[in-house]
Structure 1
Amino acid sequence: MSASTHWLATATSQAVLERDGNAFDAAVAAAFVLHVVEPHLNGPGGDLVALFATSTVSDPMVLVGQGHAPRGATVEHFTAEGLDHVPGAGALAAAVPGAVVSWLWLLAEHGTWELPDVLAYAIHYAERGHAIVPRLARVLATVEDLFREHWPSSWRLWMPDGRLPQPHEVITNSDYATTLRRLIAAGAGAATREGRIGAAREAWQRGFVASAAADFTARPHRHSSGRDHAGVIRVEDFADFEPTVEHAATLEFRGVTVAKTGLWGQGPVLLQALAILDHFEDRFLDPATADGIHTITEAVKLAMADREAHYGHLDADEADRVLTRLLSPGYAEQRAAMIGARASMAFRPGDIGHASFRPPLVEASPMAAGAGLGEPTVQRSGETRGDTCHLDVVDRHGNIISATPSGGWLQSSPAIPGLGFCLGTRLQMTWLDPAAPSRLEPGRRPRTTLTPTLLLRDGEPVAALGTPGGDQQDQWQLLYLLRTLVFGQTPQQAIDAPAFHTTAVPSSFWPRTWTPGGLVVEERVGTPVVEELIGRGHAVTLSDPWSLGRLSCVSRDPARGQLQAAANARGAQGYAAGR
């Protein structure tokens, strides 16, 4: 079974499975297709986070494809540039790209296919073309002037005829196809499959890709600061990156083990929220009622406040201590007791006996974000400016993976001539405050919002799920878990049901605003529910009926040998397939 945020990625994954590739071969092939067909949502210059388990080792593992800050990315350098924050667009905000190297690692370690076969799908769509989805056309429209006036390399790549492409028009990216062919050619002489994939990694990290990216982004170019800056990433930074694999953070909830990233991601937010909500009766957990929406929202606000205060790239011992305290039953009970009958307007991180960070709180203004600013995710109105990507795969052997690729979207920074992509801006999620646990520091990973999920029952993996959506990712997944684990809905019913999320937390993306009491709900929840929420003090924004969340999932029943998949109907883009 396969599910993803774009039908061509799902079709690619399923084609690999049909040809006896395993789940990891299928995921890697689909991921490279996502670079081509959703370039406004992810790219080769970005990053990824994945959770996976193999048919022989069921323990959930986290593949950390999040790159670190380059050696030259220091607070002193940014302040010398006249900046008090990391810009939301421009190569100065680029972390070392982790996506491609991490996918190649996964293919070499757990896949079975040769690299040319895996990349053939992405090369086909890059060379022969694909129909652009309406959201991609809208994103290109927002950055048309930026590209024309300041980023000519992006203008030439995305407006090749000197005009804005229209929805459903077929576009190509021959430069990226050439890049992929050069990666394949780099390993042609190696004696083993692993050696051939390793040679492609070398070409990326120490060869033509790293050289072209470092040389081009070192030239000053326009950033979201409104000024021109040069990037600081160098070839040696590319060479420094190594994907890592670590054990997942877990929590037991209603007979299921929920597996997430550690504190360098936002994954523990979901675990914290579940731990808090486990102290309430089921009637307060129903996402279809005012009682449920209120209680769930307040629990999320508390967990997200802890994210701001305590999460970051901590050393192993410190991370273990912090996570143990945040997920302890006693702490969850304390946090649950703070939820009252009315919406809280306060930012309330908890005291866990550990140094905490309190970010400056800036209330959101009605002004829209500028071109290329921040992550292309969900606006506080509920309108989707872009988002990111997600894919889930499970095979007949029991291999399973949930992956959220992101970063390096085409509006991040200028396209690198000849490569067909740009670098990302993940460093915008760091602070220039040395007291922040997610501070900017060379070699340090930024805290990421990428947060896929694996579920296990009796030690066996039973589901992989996730969604794009920045700060909303764990919020929407929480609704799915409550609907399936507490109220017995099917995966598709849970995905299709009306969604909501809070904006009463500082955004992870510049300009890092928040809306005290903010709550965005799909209008399908109904007028009586909305009126009751307003009466409880929530600052409610009504979103379009089918607008929030792009969740997908695959699942397996080991006892019955049955596989399932489900995908999101919103945006008419996600797709699930299998047999």
Structure 2
Amino acid sequence: MALPSYDRIGPRGAVSSTHHLGTAAAAAVLADGGNAFDAAVACGFVLQVVEPHLCGPGGELPAVFVTAADPTPQVLCAQGVAPAAATTERLRAEGCAIVPGTGLLPATVPGAWDGWLTLLRDHGTRELADVLGPALGYAEHGFPLVPRVPVTIGAVAEHFRAHWPSSAETWLPGGRVPAAGEILRLPTLAATWRRLLDEAVGATREARIDAARDAWYRGFVAEEIERFCATPVHDGTGTAHTGLLTADDLDRWSAHYEPAVLTDAGRGWSVAKCGPWSQGPVLAQQLALLGDPQLPGGVATAETVHAAAEAAKLAFADREAWYGDSPGAASGDLLDDLLAPAYAAQRRSLIGPESDGTLRPGSPGGRTPVLGAYAATPGAGRGTGTEGPGSGEPTVARDGATRGDTVHVDVVDAAGNMVSVTPSGGWLQSSPTIPALGFCLGTRGQMFWLEDGLSSSLVPGRMPRTTLSPSLALRDGEPAVAFGTPGGDQQDQWQLCFLLALVYGGFAPESLLQGAIDAPTWHSTAFPASFAPRGWEPHGLVVESRLGADTLAYLRRRGHDVTDAGPWALGRMCAAGRFPAPGGIALHAAVDPRSGVGGAIAV
């Protein structure tokens, strides 16, 4: 019998993240009087060091947040764009059918540094040196490797030795794969951060932060990135190519703010998400497709899982046809039509008693959907030469066998600040380490299509349609919970499982978040993947065995190709919230036990 689990609850602040050292750094900032944004930035930098297979300084991030002064959910978009030289013609001329998952060709402008510093400048209170200090200390003096890091390094060790010597020097101490628990140091990254701090000079805190931003995007970091991209690098195509990023690409880009997408989640709850340049509206569409679920017999019943899986297929088919950074996809009219009750009702009528194995995008507002030939073909990614070690396949498998291609952090404070951030990219296994800087570039460009005329076709200066998808939940209009998870295409499906349990699960107030996180989880794989080689399985459904043998048998009878991932296998959910309590407001944090390395602390 499972022991009862409870939220961590405190009066001053609460934080949850995918690594306990990041959580500890954030909690220390909160305990010292910093606000939620100070704490989130400190955590984010630590995660770049201690989970290098999941995020890095060369990656990107989206954030959803509210401030103590303004409870209206806002989004910070720090997803970098495609270089000016990145065209479909250029990559097709390089022999690519899809954008490769590794190397330099898929690199977009690194957005994480500007994103974190923009949040700190505009909404934090601390100096950059203060919030960067914990991460800098781990990089200089060492940090223990969690088990998944050596496994990841081991999978690409021969690739490093043969093709990426700078990565071999960084991640293979003494030429060998390090062991779990071994202390590893990143002195070159530490030196880069110290130089950035040295250049953070100005009369005010804000000016000093802006000077550090300039040193990255208009200074020595941009210059080194351009210099490194001029050298051919072996990538997922099986051959070597130079990169496309230049210093001018970095100079022209900066993070930006935009309104969040808000949708009803039932029983007085609503959810704030990023726009359709992310997959965020997929969660909103799934909720709309499920309508007001009666959930007969409980949240995780066979009927609920079947309906949710079919709703996911329809929502993700719409993602494939409509989401992206193209002018049409980014328009408010399209999003309004995708989330319109009448459209949801029409799409809901397509959910039948049997698993459907086709890709069925809809026609919001009467528009005609367009799918690329590659996306429309199940299994198109097989045999493309893009699979295998060093290929750039994310470290989360579609069947949940390995977890996480990303990190996540949620923070709330007593003043009412609340922020949810899902940083990713710059993985140690996806692009070679830049020798002069100590980090590697991201490969988010693999989410573009090389077929022209699609909502997410590769176009210079546009953002790839990212899977990164942080969330805020509001209760009766008041910001209540920041939540999210790593997991690529699975993020908004695992979040749906969490949200259904949160809203309908009936957990006691003291275990509301932890109970929802611990609930059984599932996800569909019946839509085109965002990562190379980008295949899909028409009836694929991955579940946790805690759903029960009868439920799995029911789902198979309904035509689902069910993969039992094990009892505790899917997701790395994090959550932090603010709830009324006798005498005031209590701040809650909870974290997924599935990974074994996350941490939740309230102070």
- Over 3 Å counting, the alpha-carbon distance change for 1:316 and 1:242 in structure 2 is farther
The answer as to 2:58 corresponding to 1:45 is yes
Quote the Cα distance in structure 2 between the aligned partners of 1:366 and 1:522: 26
| Higher mean C-alpha deviation, range 157-166 or range 354-363 | 354-363
Equivalent in the alignment of 1:408: 426
SS at match of 1:456: strand
Q: Which residue of 2 aligns with 1:497?
A: 519
1:431 is aligned to 2:449: yes
Q: Does 1:516 align with 2:528?
A: no
1:327 is matched with: 339
Name the CA shift for 1:52/1:434 in 2 (closer, same or farther; >3 Å): same
Q: How does 1:58-97 map to 2 (within 5 A)?
A: 58-97=71-110
- Asked whether 1:578 is paired with 2:602, we answer yes
1:346 deviation in Å? 1.3
The root-mean-square deviation of aligned C-alpha atoms, in Å, is 1.6
Structure 1 distance, partners of 2:578, 2:391, is 40
Cα distance in structure 2, aligned partners of 1:476 and 1:553: 13
For residues 100-156 of structure 1, what are the alpha-carbon distances to aligned partners after superposition, in whole Å with 9 as ceiling and x for unaligned?
111011111111101111111001100111110110110000000110000000000
- Secondary structure in 1 matching 2:423: strand
348-357 vs 392-401, which moves further: 348-357
- What does residue range 290-309 of structure 1 map to in structure 2 within 5 Å? 290-309=302-321
Segments of structure 2 that go 5 or more residues without pairing to the other structure are: 1-13
1:275 corresponds to: 288
User: Amino acid of the residue matched to residue 173 of structure 1?
Assistant: L
CA contact (8 A) 2:403 2:570 kept: no
Q: 1:315 aligns with which of 322, 327, 333?
A: 327
Alignment match of 1:555 (pick from 567, 577, 580): 577
The residue identity in structure 1 corresponding to 2:243 is G
Letter matched to residue 291 of structure 2: D
| Inter-partner Cα distance in structure 2 for 1:473 and 1:357 | 24
- C-alpha distance 477-54 of structure 1, shift in aligned 2 (>3 A): same
Distance 2:392 2:49 in 1: 21
User: 1:406 aligns to what SS in structure 2?
Assistant: coil
Q: Where do residues 120-135 of structure 1 align in structure 2 (5 Å cutoff)? A: 120-135=133-148
Closer/same/farther in 2, CA of residues 442 and 172 from structure 1, 3 Å limit: same
Q: How many residues align?
A: 577
Which deviates further from its counterpart, 347-356 or 562-571? Answer: 347-356
Deviation at 1:323, TM superposition (A): 0.7
Match of 1:32 in 2: 45
Return the TM-score normalized by structure 1: 0.97
Counterpart for residue 484 of structure 1? 502
Structure 2 CA distance for aligned equivalents of residues 324 and 558 of structure 1: 33
Deviations along 1:525-572, one digit per CA (max 9) or x if unpaired, are 111111111111100011022110000100002574111111010121
2:436 aligned residue (415, 418, 428): 418
Q: What is the rounded CA distance, in whole Å, between the counterparts of 1:143 and 1:384 in structure 2? A: 15
Q: Could you tell me which of 23, 26, 29 is aligned with 2:36?
A: 23
Cα 1:366–1:432 change in 2 (3 A) is: closer
Deviation at 1:279, TM superposition (A): 4.9
- Bigger drift between 377-386 and 269-278 goes to 377-386
1:168 Cα deviation after fit = 0.8
Q: Distance in 2 between matches of 1:545 and 1:35?
A: 29
Instruction: Give per-residue Cα distances to partners, 1:306-364, cap 9 Å, x unaligned.
Output: 10011111338962111111111111111111111111111111122224221333434
CA contact (8 A) 1:429 1:446 kept: yes
- Give the distance between the partners of 1:132 and 1:519, measured in 2 at CA: 32
Q: Is 2:410 the partner of 1:388?
A: no
Distance 2:356 2:393 in 1: 27
Q: Find the aligned partners of 1:176 and 1:266 in 2 and give their Cα distance.
A: 31
After TM superposition, the structure 1 = structure 2 runs for residues 146-165 of structure 1, keeping only pairs within 5 Å, are 146-165=159-178
In structure 1, the residue matched to 2:361 is 349
Q: What TM-score, normalized to structure 2?
A: 0.93
What residue identity is the alignment partner of 1:510? A
Q: Give 1:484 deviation, angstroms.
A: 1.2
| Aligned residue in 2 for 1:115 | 128
Alpha-carbon spacing, 1:573–1:97, altered in 2? closer, same or farther (3 Å):
same
Structure 1 window deviating more from structure 2 (485-494 vs 568-577): it is 485-494
Distance in 1 of aligned mates of 2:486 and 2:330: 29
Q: Provide the rounded CA distance (Å) in 1 between the counterparts of 2:339 and 2:300.
A: 26
Other structure's SS at 1:510 match: coil
Bigger mean CA offset, 479-488 vs 359-368: 359-368
| Alpha carbons 2:392, 2:429 under 8 Å: kept | no
> Is the 8 Å Cα contact of residues 277 and 463 (structure 2) preserved in structure 1?
yes
- Partners of 1:21 and 1:209 in 2: how far apart? 29
- Residues 70 and 237 of structure 1 are in contact (CA less than 8 Å); yes or no, is this contact kept in structure 2? yes
| Counterpart in the other structure of 2:252 | 240
Distance across 1 between alignment mates of 2:395 and 2:294:
33
1:547 corresponds to which letter in structure 2? A
For 1:429 and 1:366, the matched residues in 2 are separated by: 17
Provide, for residues 221-270 of structure 1, a one-character-per-residue CA deviation record: whole Å limited to 9, x for no partner. Answer: 10100010000100011111110000001112221121001111101000
Task: For 2:332, give the aligned amino acid.
Answer: D
Q: Which string of whole-angstrom CA distances, capped at 9 and with x for unpartnered residues, describes residues 433-476 of structure 1?
A: 11110111111011000001011223321110000000000000
CA deviation map 1:193-221 (0-9, x unaligned):
11111111111011111111110122001
Could you tell me which of 374, 391, 394 is aligned with 1:373?
Answer: 391
In structure 1, give the amino acid aligned to 2:317: A
Q: Secondary structure at the match of 1:93?
A: coil
The gaps in structure 1 that reach 5 residues or longer are none
Name 1:566's counterpart in structure 2.
590
Which amino acid is 1:103 matched to?
W
SS in 2 for 1:572: coil
Matching residue's letter, 1:62: V
* Match of residue 218 from structure 1: 230
* CA drift at 1:178: 0.8
* Counterpart secondary structure, 2:319: helix
User: Matched residues in 1 for 2:341 and 2:505: separation?
Assistant: 23
* Whole-angstrom CA distance in 2 between matches of 1:342 and 1:109: 50
Native 8 Å contact 1:375 1:387 kept in 2: no
Summarize deviations over 1:266-324 as a string: whole Å, max 9, x none.
0100000101111543328x442111110111111111111001111133896211111
Measure, in 2, the Cα distance between the counterparts of 1:15 and 1:575. 13
Secondary structure of 1:300's counterpart equals helix
Larger CA deviation: 144-153 vs 110-119: 110-119
